[in-house]
Amino acid sequence: MFNKKSKVRLKNKPRRRTMNPSKRMLIRQFLIGFLVLLFVASLIAGLWYGTRLEQLTIKNIIVIGGQTISHEIVKGKTEAVLGGSYIGLIPRRFVWWYPHEDILEVVKSIPRIKNPVVERVSGTEIKIQFEEYFPYALWCDEIKTDECIFIEDTGYGFSVAPKLSGDTLLRYHSLGLKPLVGTSLLDKTKLTETVRFVNLVQTVQGFEVSTIEVDSMEDVFYILNDGGEIKANLSIPAEIVFANLQSILEAKEFTHLKSGAFQYIDLRFGNKVYVNDSTPVVATSTVTSTSEIDSGVGEVTQ
């Protein structure tokens, strides 16, 4: 006999539920955000602790240079710059990112400091090295004024000068050029030329130069303590100008030209010298062919 096959009713397989795409995107974004936050937090923590390592923190400031400038002042101003942190996170003392330019600027602002250099020596030290400006003369706004700045031997104005008494330093006045710190009165060669002439002139008894006035045409006027002015030009070497002056002072008709006894002696025109004194001067064979002197002005040739 044949077995009857029983019919088996198969149940339907359960369907797999699929997640809502928008919900899936939200979870994915949450995970990405969490990982980003974790990375940022790790980075911040690493920066926080890494930039505070003892071996990478500036603790010592070495100062070298200068003769009269206090190293403690330099250190104090530098310490002030190193205080605090960047965005409240990285200390300014962290040696790899210390504020080099800020320190350089604050050191430059200290009067009389010249050519400062700031450099990292080790993980815990920086070195500040500099030269010092020394007053060579005064550059004043007017001939008789206390508003002056110090200049060094190159003619560079480096600091405002206090009110000074006496004639320890030569005074310069520049026509049409206001004295300003950070600018130059003259270049070094021309400034040296004026000092050379002053040294020569002061070998003449009673001729003491108190002020030197210069203009844009390189004319220079040496004003004597007792009055009177010697006019010259920087294009003529000091020795030649002084030789011409000596020729005038040694001439018999100009023996009265003592300091304070003339208005000016003009030496700007080579071997022609013009003299303006308070009394007329009678000409001799050394005077020009006109032999007439008007208003106390004489022209003498050598």
Please report, in tens digits, the pLDDT of each residue of the chain (302 residues total). 455 555 555 555 555 666 677 777 877 787 888 788 878 777 777 677 778 888 999 999 999 998 899 999 999 999 999 999 888 888 999 999 999 999 999 999 998 999 999 999 999 999 999 999 999 999 998 877 788 999 999 999 999 998 876 568 899 999 988 999 999 999 999 999 999 999 999 998 889 998 999 998 999 999 998 888 999 999 999 999 999 999 888 888 887 888 777 889 999 987 788 888 764 333 332 333 222 333 344 455 44
The pLDDT value recorded for residue 7 is 55
CA 221 from centre of chain: 27
- pTM exceeding the 0.75 threshold for the entire prediction: no
Going from the N-terminus, what domains does the chain have, and what CATH number goes with each?
54-132 (3.10.20), 137-301 (3.40.50.11690)
Give the sign of the dihedral formed by CA 22, CA 28, CA 33, CA 36.
negative
The closest alpha carbon to 82, from 110, 120, 114, belongs to 120
Closest to 136 measured CA to CA, from 157, 153, 154: 153
Residues 147 and 139: their CA atoms lie apart, in Å, by 9
